[in-house]
Chain A
Amino acid sequence: GENVEQHPSTLSVQEGDSAVIKCTYSDSASNYFPWYKQELGKRPQLIIDIRSNVGEKKDQRIAVTLNKTAKHFSLHITETQPEDSAVYFCAAGSGGSNYKLTFGKGTLLTVNP
């Protein structure tokens, strides 16, 4: 089955710096890569996603890049703010009757003011 590795497990940055979280996946059939943000004690929330026919997607301070050949994708957060502090999960998925979504173990991002 699919295996998603996520690094680093913890990341501490100063406010205003950039943060990068990286994930690799194993199943070449995966074609959907969402990122979720989970604040302490809260539910996961989708922040951005990318499909395998796109190499990069941006939404304000957040961007995701995908390298299908190398089977890795990354989340980039620029101009970090204290409210960006949370656990971020990457996931790799495929659809149809064989729908599955496999998550990475998460990255605890702390943005220090």
Chain B
Amino acid sequence: DSGVTQTPKHLITATGQRVTLRCSPRSGDLSVYWYQQSLDQGLQFLIQYYNGEERAKGNILERFSAQQFPDLHSELNLSSLELGDSALYFCASSVRGGLGDTQYFGPGTRLTVL
């Protein structure tokens, strides 16, 4: 157990819908990262937050947005969902968010878009 929690574990929804994925980082970690893992695209970095502020953006679609709250938990919002958004979404956290910081991954949320 990495100490990073994600809810829900599974999510099934329909195209066009909007969902919110939640992540709680390890105690003491200030930085949160979101990743998408699919068979087509592999593991992709989406976005990073540090202490409530966006720090870096990766391959995140405009239909997706995220935020990190004052208590450091983070939410990833996915809207206008398409079949291709079906994937495993991981959240990770690290202490300071620096490049060499060890990232601890959560168990993931499996999203299925029908």
Which residues of A come within 8 Å of B, CB atoms? 31-32, 42-46, 49, 51, 89, 93-106
Distance to closest chain B CB from A109 (angstroms) = 16
* B102 near A46: Cβ-Cβ < 8 Å: yes
Contact with A along B88-111 (1 / 0, CB 8 A): 001000000111101101111000
**A106→B48 CA distance, assembly (Å):** 22
Interface of B is mostly: loop
- Contact A45-B58, Cβ < 8 Å, known A95-B98, A103-B42, A103-B43: no
Q: Are A32 and B90 in contact (CB under 8 A)?
A: no
Check if B56 sits within 8 Å of A100, measured CB to CB.
Answer: yes
Contacts of A42 in B (CB 8 A): 107
Query: 5 A-B residue contacts at CB 8 Å?
Result: A43-B107, A44-B43, A97-B56, A99-B55, A99-B99
Q: Which residues of B contact A99 (CB under 8 A)?
A: 48, 55-56, 97, 99
**Contact, CB under 8 Å: A102 / B45:** yes
Are the CB atoms of A49 and B45 closer together than 8 Å?
Answer: no
| Residues of the A chain whose Cβ atoms lie less than 8 Å from the Cβ of B108 | 43
- B79 within 8 Å of A (CB atoms): no
Number of interface residues of B (CB under 8 A): 20
Besides the contacts A43-B108, A99-B48, what 11 more A-B pairs have beta carbons closer than 8 Å? A31-B99, A46-B102, A51-B100, A89-B42, A96-B99, A97-B55, A98-B56, A99-B55, A101-B45, A104-B42, A105-B42
Closest to B44 in A: A103
- Asked whether, in the complex, the Cβ of A93 is within 8 Å of the Cβ of B42, the reply is no
Please report the C-alpha to C-alpha distance between residue A93 and residue B99 in the assembled complex, in whole angstroms.
7
Give complex CA distance A45, B48 in Å: 18
In the complex, chain B residues whose CB is within 8 Å of the CB of A103: 42-45
Q: Does B80 contact A (CB under 8 A)?
A: no
Q: Chain A's nearest CB lies how many Å from the CB of B111?
A: 16
Residues of B within 8 A of A51 (CB): 100
Residue among B2, B42, B43, B90 with most chain A CB within 10 A? B43
Q: How far is the CA of A44 from the CA of B45 in the complex (A)?
A: 13
In whole angstroms, what is the CA distance A94 to B58 when docked?
Answer: 12
